[in-house]
Structure 1
Amino acid sequence: MGETPDARPARVLIHDPTLRDGHHAVRHQLDTDQLRAYAVAANAAGVAVVEVGHGNGLGASSLQIGRARLSDATMVQVVREALTDSRLAVFMVPGWGTCEDLRGAVGHGADVVRIAAHCTEADITERHLGVARDLGAEAHGVLLMSHMASPEKLAEQCALLAGYGAQAVGIYDSAGHYLPADVTERIAAIVAAVDVPVIFHGHNNLGMAVANSTAAIEAGAQVIDATARGFGAGAGNTQLEVLVAVLERMGHSTGIDLRRLLSAADLAEERLMKAPPVIDSVSLVSGLAGVFSGFRKPVLATARREGIDPADLFFALGDRQVVAGQEDLIDDVAHQLKEM
């Protein structure tokens, strides 16, 4: 088993899901010109890995959680053509995506495949991690809504992912619920349990995404996710250009040209989003309640329709530990609140 390192890693690999996680903020409606423009800019800045797709990953475009403007194949092809140095990544949750979706994505040029599962359900990834490896892609295994599990449980689940062939493993703070001490404890436990690089993916509901990401690095994480301007659902993700600037101040190498990255972030704000994410009251409550940020819009719509406080609805959903894909429960919980 690996041991928590005593020294900072010489280099931090930045994984950029702006064109995938950011899709949540625009109802999955980015077009080919937008994808291409940002991919070219990120590639020029030296970003190691650029991820693209529907916000919920391969195969997720649907009436239930939103239809993407473009097909998975088109998104992968457009970004693949724009990347001359950066690697191309895709993301998939078994159940939304299938092995056939993986074959299509790798066939169109994906280099890295992220297979994701709820934080206590690593066993559902075994087949898909194996397929990704067989296809010649770099396979990652990641755990969503990780605040719902203890450090020990997360370490156990990440060890399973590594045992299934994942070449990097890690956790997503899908609800933006963590504080730095939470991250330190969890990442240290995972680093001690596996012999592959450890990933951290933060959200900014409590304004802690950059601090949480640096805590992850100090605890031994080697792969950190971040998006331009924090582009993502609700309060957004770890802000890429801020993170890289902070890491430079801390003495960490990322291989990224900060000046060119700032230009890429400016382009993202101008071309991809109506406005950068902010921590408003709803995002803050979502983080406190531990509810996935992608629930923001349906929660607000339901609360408005039913005449209830969205904060009450978020906390009730948090109590029920809802996860992405359970959006149909929002109406049920709202009706229960009205009857109380």
Structure 2
Amino acid sequence: MTRIRLNDTTLRDGSHSVRHQYTPEQVRAVVRALDDANIEMIEVTHGDGLGGSSFNYGFSHTSDLDLVEVAVDEARNAKIAVLLLPGLGTVADLKEAHARGAGMVRIATHCTEADISVRHFQAARELGLETGGFLMLSHRISPAELAAQARIMVDAGCQCVYVVDSAGALIMEQAGDRVKALVDEIGDEAQVGFHGHQNMSFGVANSVLAVRAGARQIDGSLAGLGAGAGNSPTEVVATSFAVLGIETGVDVEKIQAAAEDVLKPMVPRLPAIDRSSIVQGQMGVYSSFLLHAERASERYGVPTAEILREVGRRGYVGGQEDMIIDVAVHLSDSAA
């Protein structure tokens, strides 16, 4: 079997879990541990990517560009990647990240909006960056429709398109079928990847099925740190792949130590598969909405799970975090 690249997003998706409060010292410690475990790509930015530090998404403790520079300085072998959401991050942000040493950008759009990524892929390739494309909330459309969106990204210069289960809503064949559809569409023109969440507890299983369907890059984060119920835990994915004979080059003992001895002591709260996060998976709600919904629940006295159910009914997508307040107010008024 072709070797799989296991990417780590502790310092990007995991930023949601720590309310974007990573310090330079913490970034150094995590990068050092991941690098020592032979992780080849480490993603570092605000949870919502370059430019994400804002009132709407939450302010960072330290500028993500400064954290990128710290990560690049600490890594000996790993490539440092950044995330960019068009309309939030800009080409200017991308150029600055490149100047700070980033070697890859993953450009993320809603699963039906790949066309807004074209300019950013072109700019990234001109800079010589490795490129990845995130099709977020991939459960929202059929495998064939998702493959058509992947085609747009590949034609624009994307080198790996990821099926992104932003809500942790995909279950087994629902993930594998989407990966296969992308593989069938783009063939050898680009790779296909998978990014899973644990809301319905299928992140690791879906990652295995993604590989069997042809994915060549898989995401994880240490101790599952990430939005919602968290990401597929890097240390569990690496260990499972080793047991199954799927080659990653990752040192299993060192990646387990990175999660247990380095990451866990610095994190006040680890993600959990609880009622609210399960509802996110059930209703297909964007995982990063969880903390926003919890804050709205405290303010308006409405259960978090009920807010998330209504958000799911309304079909909100990433970027509509401000609408969660409207939902909480509506539910509060209805209960009065």
Q: TM-score, normalised by structure 2?
A: 0.96
C-alpha distance in 1 between matches for 2:213 and 2:138: 16
> Is it true that 1:171 corresponds to 2:163 in the alignment?
yes
Give the secondary-structure state (helix, strand or coil) at the position aligned to 1:170.
strand
Give the secondary-structure state (helix, strand or coil) at the position aligned to 2:133.
strand
Aligned to 2:321: 327
Q: Is the 8 A contact 1:151 1:189 kept in 2?
A: yes
Give the secondary-structure state (helix, strand or coil) at the position aligned to 2:161.
strand
> Is it true that 1:133 corresponds to 2:125 in the alignment?
yes
Aligned to 2:147: 155
Aligned to 1:39: 31
Aligned to 2:192: 198
> Is it true that 1:263 corresponds to 2:257 in the alignment?
yes
How far 1:270 sits from its partner (Å)? 3.5
Give the secondary-structure state (helix, strand or coil) at the position aligned to 1:18.
strand
How far 1:339 sits from its partner (Å)? 4.7
Stretch moving more, 249-258 or 330-339: 330-339
How far 1:97 sits from its partner (Å)? 0.3
How far 1:303 sits from its partner (Å)? 2.7
Aligned to 2:239: 245
Q: Deviations along 1:16-42, whole A, 9 cap, x unmatched?
A: 111111100011001011000110111
C-alpha distance in 2 between matches for 1:174 and 1:106: 26
C-alpha distance in 2 between matches for 1:168 and 1:266: 30
Unpaired runs of 5+ residues, structure 1, are 1-8
Q: Deviations along 1:44-81, whole A, 9 cap, x unmatched?
A: 11001011010000011101111111112211110001
Q: Deviations along 1:129-178, whole A, 9 cap, x unmatched?
A: 00000001011111111111111110000011000010111221111111
Percent of matched pairs sharing the same residue: 41
Give the secondary-structure state (helix, strand or coil) at the position aligned to 1:274.
coil
Stretch moving more, 321-330 or 29-38: 321-330
Match of 2:134 among 131, 137, 142: 142
Aligned to 1:221: 215
How far 1:311 sits from its partner (Å)? 2.3
How far 1:247 sits from its partner (Å)? 0.4
Q: Is the 8 A contact 2:30 2:263 kept in 1?
A: no
Aligned to 1:274: 268
Q: Deviations along 1:80-133, whole A, 9 cap, x unmatched?
A: 011111111111001110000000001111111101100000000000000000
How far 1:196 sits from its partner (Å)? 1.0
> Is it true that 1:28 corresponds to 2:20 in the alignment?
yes
Match of 2:229 among 235, 256, 260: 235
How far 1:275 sits from its partner (Å)? 3.7
Match of 2:310 among 316, 326, 333: 316
Unpaired runs of 5+ residues, structure 2, are none
Q: Deviations along 1:198-218, whole A, 9 cap, x unmatched?
A: 010000001111001111111
Matched to 1:215, the amino acid is L
Q: TM-score, normalised by structure 1?
A: 0.95
Match of 1:188 among 162, 167, 180: 180
> Is it true that 1:113 corresponds to 2:105 in the alignment?
yes
How far 1:300 sits from its partner (Å)? 2.1
C-alpha distance in 2 between matches for 1:241 and 1:149: 30
CA 270–331 in structure 1, closer or farther in 2 if over 3 Å, else same: closer
C-alpha distance in 1 between matches for 2:190 and 2:106: 14
Aligned to 1:5: none
Match of 1:302 among 296, 305, 309: 296
How far 1:296 sits from its partner (Å)? 1.2
C-alpha distance in 1 between matches for 2:270 and 2:318: 23
C-alpha distance in 1 between matches for 2:292 and 2:253: 38
Q: Is the 8 A contact 1:125 1:161 kept in 2?
A: yes
CA 329–182 in structure 1, closer or farther in 2 if over 3 Å, else same: same
Q: Is the 8 A contact 1:138 1:167 kept in 2?
A: yes
Matched to 2:17, the amino acid is A
Matched to 2:35, the amino acid is N
How far 1:312 sits from its partner (Å)? 2.3
The total of aligned residue pairs comes to 332
Aligned to 2:75: 83
Give the secondary-structure state (helix, strand or coil) at the position aligned to 1:249.
helix
Q: Is the 8 A contact 1:21 1:233 kept in 2?
A: yes
Q: Is the 8 A contact 2:69 2:100 kept in 1?
A: yes
